[in-house]
Amino acid sequence: MYGRVQGVFFRAFVQQEARAKGLRGFVINRPDRSLYIEAEGEEGKLSEFIERVKSGPPAARVRDMDIQWCEPAGYEDFQIRY
């Protein structure tokens, strides 16, 4: 995820949205100032999550997203990684 996505509470926003939808996975800031998310759960909930994350919190500006669907990794919760 690219744009103004660091320093705007985006990771906390992502975690809150994921947990509200019962998703599991993680979110982490990348050194290039982008954001990386892995999320797994029900397909419909994932689609809703993607739409919410496209907007982000009020101070964020999402410029681009690269979405890839893959097999679940078996996460137990949704975490913010550092």
CATH number at residue 11: 3.30.70.100
Q: Which residues sit opposite 61 in a β-bridge?
A: 4
Per residue in 21-69, pLDDT (tens digit) is 999 999 999 999 999 999 999 999 999 999 999 999 999 999 999 999 9
The total domain count for the chain is 1
Let me know: does 23 contact 40? Beta carbons within 8 Å.
Answer: yes
Measured distance CA(64)–CA(76) in Å, rounded: 28
Instruction: Count CB neighbours of 28 within 10 A.
Output: 15
Measured distance CA(41)–CA(45) in Å, rounded: 7
Token pair of 8 as six digits: 């705007």
Determine which one of 4, 19, 24, 29 is catalytic: 29
Determine which one of 11, 19, 30, 33 is catalytic: 11
Q: Is 52 designated active site?
A: no
Boundaries of domain holding 22: 2-81
Q: State residue 3's pLDDT score.
A: 96
Q: Is 29 designated active site?
A: yes
Measured distance CA(63)–CA(7) in Å, rounded: 15
Q: State residue 15's pLDDT score.
A: 98
